[in-house]
Amino acid sequence: MEKKGKRNYVLIVSAVLVTLFVLFGAFFPNTLGTVAGALFSGITKNFGWMYLITVFGMVLFAVFLAVSPMGRLKLGKPEDKPEFSNFQWFTMLFGGSMGIGLVFYSVAEPLMDYASPPMAEPETTAAMYESMQTVFFHWGFHPWGIFAIGGLALGYFSFKKDRPFLVSSAFEPLIGDRVNGPIGKAIDILAIFATIFGVATSLGLGASQIVGGLNYIYGVETGTTLTCVIIGIITIAFYFGYHFRASKRNPVSYGY
Would you say residue 241 has pLDDT above 80? no
Give the tens place of pLDDT for each residue, 144-172: 888 889 888 988 898 888 888 889 999 99
Confirm whether 104 is domain-assigned: no
Confirm whether 256 is domain-assigned: no
pLDDT value of position 180: 87
Buried (b) or exposed (e) across 87-103, using 16+ Cβ within 10 A? Answer: eeeeeeeeeebbebbbe
What is the DSSP code (8-state) at residue 121?
P
Would you say residue 5 has pLDDT above 50? no
Confirm whether 98 is domain-assigned: no
Confirm whether 86 is domain-assigned: no
pLDDT value of position 254: 38
Confirm whether 180 is domain-assigned: yes
Burial of 169 by CB count in 10 Å (0-12 exposed, 13-18 middle, 19+ buried)? buried
Would you say residue 142 has pLDDT above 90? no
HSE-CB at 3 with a 13 A cutoff on CA atoms is: 6
pLDDT value of position 120: 85
Q: How far apart are CA 256 and CA 253, in angstroms?
A: 8
Would you say residue 4 has pLDDT above 80? no
pLDDT value of position 58: 93
Average pLDDT over residues 222-229: 86
pLDDT value of position 251: 47
pLDDT value of position 56: 92
Would you say residue 6 has pLDDT above 50? no
pLDDT value of position 249: 58
pLDDT class for 246, splitting at 50, 70, 90? low
Confirm whether 178 is domain-assigned: yes
What is the distance between the terminal CA atoms of the chain, rounded to a whole angstrom? Answer: 26
Highest mean pLDDT of the ranges 3-7, 71-75, 198-202, 242-246 = 71-75
Confirm whether 117 is domain-assigned: no
Would you say residue 178 has pLDDT above 80? yes
Give the tens place of pLDDT for each residue, 73-101: 888 888 888 888 888 888 887 777 676 67
The proportion of the chain whose per-residue pLDDT surpasses 90, expressed as a percent, equals 18
Instruction: Report the number of distinct structural domains present in the chain.
Output: 1
Give the tens place of pLDDT for each residue, 105-138: 777 888 888 998 878 899 999 999 988 888 888 8
pLDDT value of position 247: 64
Confirm whether 127 is domain-assigned: no
The parent domain of residue 34 ranges over: 2-72+140-246
Q: Which residues have CB under 8 Å from 75's CB, separation 6+?
A: 152, 155, 156, 159, 160
Residues 179 and 171 sit within 8 Å (Cβ to Cβ): yes
Would you say residue 174 has pLDDT above 80? yes
Would you say residue 29 has pLDDT above 50? yes
Buried (b) or exposed (e) across 22-54, using 16+ Cβ within 10 A? Answer: eeeeeeeeeeeeeeeeeeeeeeeeeeeeeeeee
Q: What is the 3-class SS of 216-234, one letter each residue?
A: HHHCCCCCHHHHHHHHHHH
Q: Which amino acid type is present at position 128?
A: M
Average pLDDT over residues 45-73: 90
